[in-house]
Amino acid sequence: MEPAIQQWSGANEAVGGWVRAVSAWAVAAGASPPRAEVGGAPGVACLDSSRRGVGQGRWTFVTARPLAIVKGRVGDVQIIDGSSGRVLDRGSDPFALLQRALDEHRGLTSEALREVPFQGGALGVFGYGCRLAVESLQADPPARWGEPDVWWGLYDTFLAWDGLAGRGVLVSWGLRRWGGAPDPGLARRRVRALAEHLDRGATSMDGRGLEVGLTPGWERERYASAFQRIQEGIAAGELYQGCLTYPMRAERAPEVTALALFDGLRRWSPAPYGALLATDGPVSLVSSSPERFMRVRGGQVTVRPMKGTRPRGRDRAEDRALRRELERSVKDRAENIMIVDLMRNDLGRVCRLGSVQVPRIFTVESYQTVHQMTSTVQAELKEGGHGLEAARACFPPGSMTGAPKVQAMKLLAELEGAPRGYYAGALGWVGWGGDLELSVVIRTALVSAREIAWHVGGGIVADSEPGAEWDESLAKCPEPLRRAVTGRGQGSPSARGEGVGSG
């Protein structure tokens, strides 16, 4: 069985417009109407690589109207029919249940789509609460807006845009329901209808004029107290590193929709792992993440933990100096190698013996507002292994916990005092056969009907300084987000045309 496939060469990089068009297609096909805080229909999903780079930043996927949804809290996760709302299956482990759902259509692959990594399957997010499926930890209280631990839409019709080639392809398998047989006639009709909506065109916004006004949810004194407790734990041998995080919040103005934020972030803070995920629940996600959690292709696993940060400079000379400082920092290298070792250990549980390698270490990458140190760990799944087994073994991302992971998570839960929600989890796609691409949920806005939240944080080690860590955490939110949604940024080198903030 082959899917219906139609080449499409629409307006180059008008991704926000594509999201609007796909949302309109879904509504015309019977999906729920657009929600005010989203700017589109529930179930609309876009994974967007707006920052091109070697091995990343090539594909953008846009879809809507999930055939089914996998959602719930650890211990009670359900597969729910996208049309009727009927519960199709349930389980306690979100990773295992999503794998079971995808196995229904494991054989749906097409040689005609061999260059397209995602050929249908699931787009969604594992929230930080999914760690309870991996380790024995105290359960979280309900999240701030009542959002579930996990949300995945199961999709068979989508737009795949190749950013390197500058062309796209529309794909549909023609599934009437999840678990049903493909219908070639239905697949062709869906592709035609999707093409018609896309061809009508819809322009992207640039985010100018929107005001957010995020403010820290913690006082500096509270951060300093939690910082001190982590360093006391390090001195006592409880842990080596802890990633302390806290939220920033703002009341949501009517014009600040998830889609408007997505358009703004894409324009002003391009990232290899941008995303818009309009769930059918109380919160939608808008992400501009620089960090890959995991990629799995044909049994080959790659993770890229990111630890070590410096702000961008005010001019070229300062920017180069800050980058060199990060490259040479013994402290940041120590933080980074701790997480590399943690990820190597996690992968060793599900990967072939002797296959875990570290081909690149302490690489510094430059983004719109920060320089980041990253390393690459690779391994091979055991024979018959599934990408979600690797994701589960490594969850949550070690860069968002610290080491040892379990002890760090226990202490962080005590100090942070509230659930992280989707933040610090993993967002992306999982294909029918188990290939996947997941980012770490950082640099991400959580958009509810009345509020916007954006979490920040950073790793703390023995020689960290509280003032520097507080300033570093703030650099991960206010300036990029303010620039993204107001179009200001006059104080940044890139805004002055000097080019050092092009990442």
pLDDT tens track for 252-288: 988 889 999 998 888 777 888 999 999 999 999 999 9
Q: Which two tokens stand for residue 94?
A: 């979100």
| Backbone Cα Rg of the chain | 21
Cα(75)–Cα(78) distance, rounded to whole angstroms? 10
55 lies in the same domain as 148: yes
Evaluate the omega torsion of the peptide bond into residue 404 and state whether it is cis, within 30 degrees of 0.
yes
- Contact indicator for 280, 42 with CB cutoff of 8 Å: yes
pLDDT at 481: 63
Query: DSSP state, 165?
Result: T
pLDDT at 311: 85
CA atoms 45, 453, 481, 332: torsion sign: negative
pLDDT at 367: 82
194 lies in the same domain as 83: yes
389 lies in the same domain as 374: no
497 within domain boundaries: no
90 lies in the same domain as 142: yes
464 within domain boundaries: no
129 within domain boundaries: yes
375 lies in the same domain as 394: no
pLDDT at 502: 24
pLDDT at 460: 94
Cα 32 off chain centre by: 24
Amino acid in the structure at residue 43? G
pLDDT at 90: 97
295 lies in the same domain as 417: yes
Residue segments in the chain with a per-residue pLDDT below the cut of 50: 54, 478, 480, 483-503
362 within domain boundaries: yes
Known catalytic residues are: 291, 307
pLDDT at 489: 33
Cα(311)–Cα(326) distance, rounded to whole angstroms? 10
pLDDT at 56: 65
Q: Could you say which of 336, 356, 380 is where a domain stops?
A: 380
Cross-strand partners of 171: 5, 158
Helices (H), 302-452: 316-328, 330-348, 387-394, 405-416
What pTM value is reported for the model? 0.91
396 within domain boundaries: yes
Phi, psi of 399 (to 5 degrees): -65, -15
477 within domain boundaries: no
Query: Strands 4-8 and 45-48, how do they pair?
Result: unpaired
404 lies in the same domain as 349: no
337 lies in the same domain as 390: no
- Contact indicator for 276, 207 with CB cutoff of 8 Å: no
132 lies in the same domain as 257: yes
Domain of residue 67, residue span: 22-216+245-299+384-454
pLDDT at 206: 56
51 lies in the same domain as 199: yes
Q: Could you say which of 363, 380, 397 is where a domain stops?
A: 380
pLDDT at 86: 96
500 within domain boundaries: no
Q: Residues 41, 42, 45, CA angle at the centre, nearest 5°? A: 90
254 lies in the same domain as 367: no
436 lies in the same domain as 401: yes
234 within domain boundaries: no
Here the CATH number for the domain that contains residue 401 is 3.60.120.10
